[in-house]
Amino acid sequence: MEENNMAKQTWLITGVSSGFGRSMTTQLLEAGNTVIGTVRNTTKVQDLVDDYPDTFICETLDVTDVPAIHQLVDQLAATHTIDVLVNNAGYGLFGAAEELGDQDVDKIIATDLTGSIQMIRSVLPHMREQGHGRIIQISSYGGQVAYPGNSMYHAAKFGIEGFCESVAQEVAPFNIGVTIVEPGGARTEFRYGSAQVANLMPAYDDNPAHAFLAMLDPANGLAPGDPNRMAARIIESVDQTPAPLHMVLGSDALAKTIARLQDRVAEYQAETDLAASTDFPAGE
């Protein structure tokens, strides 16, 4: 990747031990940027610590620990200008809603939704004071399109997208841009390593809720998305002004997103008379 005007920026990225976080971190470091990467297990990034002792800063963080988020961001902002925040930490949870335990529900909301919200809230005062910043939220086309067997993942992604769309309007006057990244399937640990599956119930066998089992098996074909190419497009987006609010990665993901949005518009248009029937008559 050629060096450009991003070369001296400092990026704060959560979850850099694998997947998009790892790919982005490697490309950014190779281009001369400074990356503050958070992990839960430092051994997975020891090679980056060794290879980039001056520009890779490894921090241990569990994004479900809200006080730790605030403490770390404030500590980092005291010595660094955080130009870009990338909320990347997260995981997939599969299973019918009835098959999920209470702890399953609480954990994925704390990780995929609340953790991202609190990272953004923590960094905003510092970006506002410095007069610039870019927030990149890794979501999924599953933040727009819902499938059976993914209810809590969709709950987190639909939720973080609504949060980011609102925040983007709030912070634009401070020269802070927000981009929601919506990748399709990619060949990362998200699908083939870190995905978590509920305690499956026989009642849901041969039910659409268990269709995900075929997707998680590499023997049925690998995901089309290249995480390195996706990471490169995410990095390049920081040069775009204004920041793109949504960025879909993967042609299949884009086609499915557009189809769902078109269906949704048609569903709402069909309710025109119903919606109007609840208004006071004109003049009243």
Residue 125 lies in a domain: yes
Distance CA 100, CA 110 (A): 15
Residue 2 lies in a domain: no
Q: Exactly one of 153, 192, 204, 268 is catalytic; which is it?
A: 153
Residue 258 lies in a domain: yes
For 165, other C-beta atoms within 10 Å of its C-beta total 13
Domain of 222 in residue numbering reads as 10-270
Residue 74 lies in a domain: yes
- pLDDT beneath 70: ranges in the chain: 1-7, 185-194, 217-225
Predicted local distance difference test score (pLDDT) of residue 277: 95
Please tell me whether residue 1 adopts helix, strand or coil conformation.
coil
Q: What CATH number is given to the structural domain containing 51?
A: 3.40.50.720
Q: How many domains does the chain have?
A: 1
Predicted local distance difference test score (pLDDT) of residue 215: 72
Q: 56 with 62: CB under 8 angstroms? A: no
Structure confidence by residue, pLDDT tens digits, 155-170: 999 999 999 999 999 9
Predicted local distance difference test score (pLDDT) of residue 214: 76
Residue 5 lies in a domain: no
Residue 137 lies in a domain: yes
Predicted local distance difference test score (pLDDT) of residue 195: 76
Residue 109 lies in a domain: yes
Query: Which residues have C-beta within 8 Å of that of residue 73, sequence separation ≥ 6?
Result: 12, 82, 119, 122, 123, 126
Residue 27 lies in a domain: yes
Predicted local distance difference test score (pLDDT) of residue 18: 87
Predicted local distance difference test score (pLDDT) of residue 2: 41
Predicted local distance difference test score (pLDDT) of residue 8: 84
Asked about 141 being catalytic, the answer comes back as no
